[in-house]
Structure 1
């Protein structure tokens, strides 16, 4: 219940969020997370419905960031929760067993907590500095990922872990070599003048044999 390549929406307006979402989907993206901070509830809900229509057209998965009530209201595919958001157990009760619940993590303790909570996947980061988040957790980098995955292996704990935070194309292969399952991207796609080319290169790295 996760995809190795996830796009986290970005935009200065709801219209930009929708336009950027459509570009990524048209380029081959299959997993979209709607993340709209500092917008009204009405704007977020209207945009989420637009995202849902687009995702249905392209056969893609729609995840709502933070807002469990909205995810339930529009019957989205799932929700992604930060460490200070609604507890995963409560979200699971509200959404049901068939919905996807992802959780943010920054430390080994966070990851173990997320595994114990029953998250379907974990977004681990930040890999490096990113302007997308206002309150940035300590940066992990390749060494942080290697160390954390190694400790999880020692404890025989397995769960899909997706790297997030300031990732560029040239980082992806090295990140995957640490044992990370996939990547979540935002700025590199939002700010690209050729989204299709970027998505094709990402798919090549993730899914084609070296």
Structure 2
């Protein structure tokens, strides 16, 4: 996956973050999301060893390549380099972005987790390519949650970014539903989901609906842009 191309439509890409439940394994959930049209997948297996993650990452890398989707691995910088995965997502307690950049170089995508504007400023200074900001609301798919932001929290953060002339692609994370897509899109923020997909009666159909809604908003914004030129 070309880094520039992946980031160019970052905020219009519906992102799926893997999780396992009583119905689906990490790999099964990701496959269903890809079948539904998801074009950005993050493999997140907190608590697993590299030996447990690597075989799953290898299979998912092939699946993402076949689907034309961007593949991001959570946390494991060395494994990203070894397997030549598209990029890595780094949590607040993971390796610093600038250190990861030294190991990976400029061709890999590096994203970071933020909960406050100060987090975003730090990630921007360290050279992050994108931000996963949240949680939007309470979620059971992640332990040790930072304070919940809600839509007002995102409004405040976006305003602070504008005031400080910081421009970074951003997706909201944490407890999102399809109803949250429009208000976040109005702020220029994309969405990443996990439980909404995996807990749906039909995960493929749910993924397709979310993907189509995100793409429709992208086309609508594109039309507005050209109309105002």
- The bucket for the TM-score relative to the shorter chain is over 0.9
Structure 2 partner of 1:69: 78
Q: Which has the larger share of helix?
A: 2
Q: Deviations over 1:97-144 (max 9, x none)?
A: 110000000001001111111111000000000111110000000000
Structure 2 partner of 1:26: 35
- Tell whether the 8 Å contact from 1:68 to 1:91 is kept in structure 2 after alignment: yes
Cα shift at 1:12: 4.5
1:113 pairs, out of 122, 125, 137, with: 122
Look up the SS of the partner of 1:167 in the other structure. Answer: coil
Measured in 1, the distance between the counterparts of 2:94 and 2:211 equals 31
Cα shift at 1:181: 2.5
Structure 1 partner of 2:204: 196
Measured in 2, the distance between the counterparts of 1:182 and 1:197 equals 20
- Tell whether the 8 Å contact from 2:38 to 2:208 is kept in structure 1 after alignment: no
Question: Tell me, which stretches of 5 or more residues in structure 2 are unaligned?
Answer: 1-5, 222-229
Structure 2 partner of 1:206: 214
Q: Deviations over 1:150-209 (max 9, x none)?
A: 1111222111011000001111111222x1431111101111222232223223322213
Question: Tell me, which stretches of 5 or more residues in structure 1 are unaligned?
Answer: none
Aligned: 1:146 with 2:158: no
Cα shift at 1:30: 1.0
Measured in 2, the distance between the counterparts of 1:57 and 1:201 equals 21
Q: Deviations over 1:26-68 (max 9, x none)?
A: 1101111000122232111111111111111111111000110
Cα shift at 1:73: 1.1
- Tell whether the 8 Å contact from 2:111 to 2:130 is kept in structure 1 after alignment: yes
RMSD of aligned Cα (Å): 1.6
Report the TM-score, using the length of structure 2 for normalisation.
0.86
Aligned length: 208
